[in-house]
Amino acid sequence: MPQHLVHRRWFWYLPVALLVTVACLQLWLAYTVNLSPWAGGGFGMFSTMEGRGNRHLHAFALRPGIRRELDIPSSLNPHLERVLVFPSESALRSLAAELVHVPTPDAGPLAAIELQVWATHFDPNSLEPSGTLLRAFEVPIDPHENRSLGDW
């Protein structure tokens, strides 16, 4: 049928509207909450090294006078990957709630879990890597119930 005879209906544009809306939302999240450009439906894949493979996380258990780095159990890997891609406050709280149960040799009540998400960037000439702190977050732990605030 010739183009000028086609009667287009509004709902024909729904899939495209969805694509554009999600991609704009992804752009906003990438700029405000460090969502990885590779993720979230914004078509930023193969445009930057800012993917989850070039981000890493350090977790610390804080007790009075002691700051101990935690080894993150492999069972939490899927959780960790989501945090690296989208280090939002709720994602970090949720991971901290899981890390409360990781054993440490230290005595004393657990006061907080500190989380740091780092991104690796590369020098344009030599490709020398450097780490940039994307987000640091401390989740206080209720000393009476030994539960993270993230559970509430």
Partner 1 sequence: MKTDRWAIGELVPQITEMDSVGLALRLTLLALLLRPIGNWMIRPLILGLAALGVALPGLLRKPWLWFTLAVLTGLRVVLDWQLADNHGYLLCYWCLAIALALVSRDTCACLALNGRLLIGWAFAFATLWKLALSPDYLDGRFFRVLLLTDLRFAEFAQLAGGLTLDSLESLREFVTQHVDGQLFAVLNPPREPARFLWLARCMTWWTVILEGAIAIVFLWPAKQRLSTLRDALLLTFCATVYAVAPVEGFGWLLIALGVAQCDPARRRPRFLYLAVFALILFYREIPPVEWLAAFSHPS
Angle in degrees, CA 98, 59, 40, rounded to 5: 75
Residue 79, interface with partner 1 (CB under 8 A)? no
Asked if 121 and 130 touch (Cβ cutoff 8 Å), the reply is: yes
Residue 127, interface with partner 1 (CB under 8 A)? yes
H or E stretch covering 133: strand 129-142
What's the closest the beta carbon of residue 24 comes to partner 1, in angstroms? 9
Quote the tokens at residue 13: 């544009």
Backbone angles phi, psi at 65, to 5 degrees: 80, 0
Residue 28, interface with partner 1 (CB under 8 A)? no
Residue 136, interface with partner 1 (CB under 8 A)? no
Chain residues in the site for partner 1 (CB under 8 A): 1, 3, 6-9, 11-16, 18-20, 22-23, 27, 30, 35, 37-50, 53, 56, 58, 81-82, 85-86, 118, 120-122, 124, 126-131, 133
